[in-house]
Amino acid sequence: MPSSEEIRDGQRAAWARLSAGWEKWDAVIMDQLGPVGTAMIERLDIAADQQHLDIASGTGEPGLSIARLAPRGRVVLTDLSAEMLDVAARRAAAQGIANIETKACSADDLPFADASFDSVSVRFGYMFFPDMGKATAEFARVLKPGGRLAASVWVSPEQNPWTSIAMDAIATETELPAPLPGAPTMFRCAAPGYITALYEQAGLHDIAEWNVPLELVTDSPAQYWSMISEHVSLAVAALQQLDAPAQARIRAHALTNVTPFKKNGQIRVPGLARCIVGTKPS
């Protein structure tokens, strides 16, 4: 079993490499994940002077959307990867958002005082944390009494063909390594109630889970494959172990399997996320 330090070091290095792909495909990724951010934000009751903490912000969402809703407030974007936060800062500047700051840190060791935020968000970050219980305890610690935590995770490979098409194609050429116990994987938090149990252990109450559908929309099967193979962590890691002919066969396989998702001239592949909200007792 890898140590927490080994997981963090691996994640930091992986996301430094992935940041260019996330910046390149920013518009497509943000359109795909947008409904999940919107669903999380709706449950956070953002006030104009909200003090908000976004965890595993990556390129900035949902923190930047929250900053727009809190013109007299402040949003702190945090992530393990300084390179991802550099993209977030560039996106904020391009969108004219000034009430944010960035801080590179790990979710399970936050450099913030107790009870310093009105709300905390974690969009698609949980599955990467070495110790999800410790991280949730940190979120509860930095929340003010009555403050809310909203997170999202992926539901299952079957309900997320936008990624399973690519993973199945990769599996035709290479055996994807079985995840080590405790190591990050995309569907690690998929079981219903999994995140609720972490929230309960951290003392949160009024906890609710609900599913949010989304769609990955690209212009063509070829664009689908370029986008996935340049920003999905597992796909990037698996493909770089393979030679060019194997990569070409995988691409052909994925293109064949994604083509049936063509609708009105676009490739529209569905997915399903689960959102979880909870409140720190007053």
Ligand X SMILES: C[S@@+](CC[C@H](N)C(=O)[O-])C[C@H]1O[C@@H](n2cnc3c(N)ncnc32)[C@H](O)[C@@H]1O
Establish how many alpha carbons lie within 13 A of residue 219's alpha carbon, considering only the half-sphere containing its beta carbon.
Answer: 4
Regarding 160 and contact with ligand X (CB under 6 A), the answer is no
Regarding 164 and contact with ligand X (CB under 6 A), the answer is no
> Based on CB atoms, which residue is closest to ligand X, 102 or 106?
106
Closest distance to ligand X from the beta carbon of 118 (Å)? 19
What is the per-residue DSSP string for 161-191?
Answer: HHHHHHHHHHHTTSPPPPPPTT---TTTT-S
CA distance 202 to 71: 30
Regarding 57 and contact with ligand X (CB under 6 A), the answer is yes
CB 169 within 8 Å of CB 254: yes
Binding map of ligand X across residues 58-97, x = CB under 6 A, - = no contact: xx-x-----------------xxx--x-------------
Closest distance to ligand X from the beta carbon of 220 (Å)? 23
Regarding 224 and contact with ligand X (CB under 6 A), the answer is no
Regarding 102 and contact with ligand X (CB under 6 A), the answer is no
Closest distance to ligand X from the beta carbon of 18 (Å)? 8
* Phi-psi group of 115: left, alpha or beta (phi > 0 → left; psi -120 to 50 → alpha; rest → beta): left
Regarding 56 and contact with ligand X (CB under 6 A), the answer is yes
Instruction: Kindly state the tokens that stand for 104.
Output: 């590179």
Tell me if residue 23 falls in helix, strand or coil: helix
* Chain positions contacting ligand X, by CB under 6 A: 8, 11, 15, 33, 56-59, 61, 79-81, 84, 106-107, 123-125, 128-129
